[in-house]
Structure 1
Amino acid sequence: MKIVYVGRFPLHIQSGHIDLISDIAATGHEAFYIIALRFKDYIRNKFTRVLSNDAEFTGINYRPFLRVTRKMKEYEKKCILSTLRKNGLIERNVVIVSNNMETCSYLKDRLPSEVSVIYHIFDRYSEYYNLTDEEKVSFDEREFEVIKKVDGVLCVSQKLLAEAKELNNNSFWFPGAVRKNQIVMPGAINTSSKKVGMISNELSRIDWPLMCNIAMILEDYSIELIGQNDLADLGEYPSNIRFIGKVPFVELPKYVRDWRVGLALYEENRFNEYCCPLKYFEYSSLDIPTISTTIPEGEVFANLYPEMIFLADDAKSIAAHVRNITTANEINDYTRLARDHNWSARAEQLIAIINKVKKNTF
């Protein structure tokens, strides 16, 4: 079987997809990755075949094309279709997976019916743009039509899955994952430490007032924040909050080795209603329990992993969880979630899903 992943954004932004397709290649299937690259990365790739420290191409048939501008959507779709044809990827044994709904719709209309097209819903995408409420409704309506059209749907959260199932029976829960080789050995916790922290790509996404309230209650603890500090107008904040800045994932263990708890302070908004809480996976891979504000997928994982995912929505309750965890005399293994949700396991799940889709479709 030939499995093709067509990415939505430039490669270095979503190297998790490279992990998925690499692990698919490791199962013995032919794996292809088609992605648009900006000019600088495209030229660099021509000469070095390397884009970032996080991108590994083990066993992958890598097929990038030049992105002139994101506004040239029709041009990019034609490039993708041309790449598929040049590489003989329009046969019965080909499966195309993409997290771009427009690409899925375009290819489904133009490829033979024997080629399966699977839409990977990675987030509620309408939340990424400055859209009015009317535009969001229009975007979601277009997405629903794509869900009906494609052969299968991968959903990163149970809430997305519930909606997709109403439109396409070949819809499956397909949450995120971490790299297997980045899961630390459990049990190396510094029980005397009074550090907790939070990882976020952009710190503006966290509930900052709640963070400050937690810090004031836990005045004898140090709270470390890892991520791009794009918080505006911070004003005064508790002195036990420390900003570390952005850290590559491979370097996280040396920064968080003394953390006793990882925080996931999700704001209440529509995006978080549908999201897969990747922080849970990251903390688990580092042998750290998670205290999270309540989101729908948080409740799913708290039920599956009650020994390591704790939900609370106010500063006093979150602080109480921190004290309970850090004063306990026992050392627990918090890596179970990461071991269950690594990219190797996800690759095997995708192959099983593809077989179900083909059985149900043909």
Structure 2
Amino acid sequence: MNMPAVRRKGFFRKVLQRIKSWSRWLKAAEPGFHVLTPIALPLFGYPLLEKLTDISTKMQIQLAQRILKFREPLVFASIPSYAETVLKLPHRGLIYYYSDKYTSYDDISAQDALARRDRMLFEAADVVFCASEMITDSLKEKRKEVHYLPHAVDFQRFHVALQADDPEPADIAAIPHPRIGYYGSIADNNDKEMILHAATQNPDLQFVMIGKVFGDYTHLKALPNIHFLGFKPYAEIPYYGRHFDVGFMSWKSTDWIRHCSPLKAKEYFSLGLPVVSIPIHELEKYHADLVYFASSPEEFLAQIEKALTEDSPEMHQKRIKRMSQESWDIRSSEMLNILKSAQESR
């Protein structure tokens, strides 16, 4: 949603990533599912450039629609960036999905321009869904059709990996147990002090970190029981995660995190893993019986040790069973039924 700042660390890497994604443009991700990456720069806050970007993006979407023979599609918008483009395209229905509290992102420039586009989608959508209850509560007084619909999980993907008889990947096989695992972006929003304290106070714990590193993790990399395995394609993640003993989320407690619906926890649960996390409303209200909460480095270590001690085959199955009811097949049916009802009532 934002143009990376030239002076910010990682600027050129982000630019190269953007160019690489543009080169794919329209790609068949799997049968019946295509991904379009419009060639566009997020230059928000500059009216003329915004207009040119909207025109270019609209033309690219229309071309993709002709190639794929789409007519008046059902539009699912999950970020406000290209609201003007979306609203000018013929469509038979518009869903606006708040996957996060966008105004809490700390690296977004031109907040006013994005806030205006957010309002456009919010007012024009047939129905608005929110991934977290806190976001829902902040919006439901502004219009009728606002519904709480938490993130679903690709349960089948993780369940298949859990049942697989494949050998451990070589890089994780070399790491002894107990393995305290995390995958995702390894950035400055992670609370490094929590990990550092746990790793130094209990050297038997082996922390496994999977993902691209965007911050300074020099101190953690120097420890023999913290292992950085680098980026892994999403398809491989379940085959690594199944070999964790505990999954953790030690993010800093920002406004964005407090309002989030942590999909990662559901993926951990789908693998049967106990989860140690900072307090997050969604987890505290709906999955408190499956999560060990920690607000400080000392609590983080104590809860990891408790999770390892209390884990059992019964809890393993309980976590998996609950996530079997949180799949996208179930969630998408709920979404379409609510949309149909909203359109019929108009």
- Answer yes or no: same fold by TM over 0.5: yes
Contact 2:131–2:260 (8 Å) recurs in 1: yes
> Kindly, what percent of the aligned residue pairs are identical?
18
What residue is the counterpart of 2:290 in the other structure?
A: 308
TM-score by length of 1: 0.72
Please, which of 84, 94, 97 is the counterpart of residue 117 of structure 1? Answer: 94
Q: Which residue of 2 aligns with 1:40?
A: 23
Change (3 A) 1:37 1:99: farther
Output aligned runs, 1:101-250, within 5 Å. 101-108=80-87, 111=90, 115-128=92-105, 130-131=107-108, 135-136=110-111, 139-140=114-115, 142-184=117-159, 193-232=177-216, 234-235=218-219, 238-250=223-235
The 5 A counterparts of 1:49-68 are 50=28, 55-56=29-30, 58-60=31-33, 62=34, 64=36, 66-67=38-39
For residues 324 and 268 of structure 1, do their structure 2 counterparts lie closer, same or farther at Cα, with a shift above 3 Å needed? closer
Q: How is 1:267-278 mapped onto 2 (pairs within 5 angstroms)?
A: 267-278=252-263
Distance 2:215 2:189 in 1: 9
Distance between the aligned counterparts of 2:243 and 2:65, measured in 1? 52
Give 1:212 shift.
0.6
Q: 2:300 aligns with which of 314, 318, 322?
A: 318
Structure 1 residues without counterparts, runs of 5 or longer: 1-7, 10-35
- Alignment RMSD (CA, Å): 3.3
Deviation at 1:288, TM superposition (A): 0.9
Equivalent residue number for residue 54 of structure 2: 74
The Cα of 1:41 is off from its aligned counterpart by 0.8
Q: Is the 8 A contact 2:40 2:53 kept in 1?
A: no
- Unpaired runs of at least 5, structure 2: 3-18, 44-51, 165-175
Paired residue secondary structure (1:259): coil
Deviating more after overlay: 344-353 vs 74-83: 74-83
Match of 1:100 in 2: 79
Spell out, residue by residue over 1:102-131, the C-alpha distance to the aligned partner (whole angstroms, 9 max, x if none). 54455446758xx33221222233445634
Q: What amino acid does structure 2 have at the position aligned with 1:184? A: H
Q: CA offset at residue 77 of structure 1?
A: 4.5
**Using the alignment, how far apart are the partners of 2:81 and 2:209 within structure 1?**
36
Query: Partner amino acid for 1:275?
Result: C
Aligned length: 304
Q: Is the 8 A contact 1:266 1:295 kept in 2?
A: no
Displacement, 1:170? Answer: 0.8
Quote the offset at 1:142 in angstroms.
Answer: 4.8
Which residue of structure 1 aligns with residue 276 of structure 2?
291
CA distance 1:159–1:197, change in 2 (3 Å) = same
Shift of 1:286: 1.8
Q: 1:166 to 1:285 in 2, by over 3 A?
A: same
Kindly state the Cα deviation for residue 89 of structure 1 after the two structures are TM-superposed.
3.0
Give the number of the structure with larger relative contact order, counting CA–CA contacts within 8 Å between residues 6 or more apart. 1
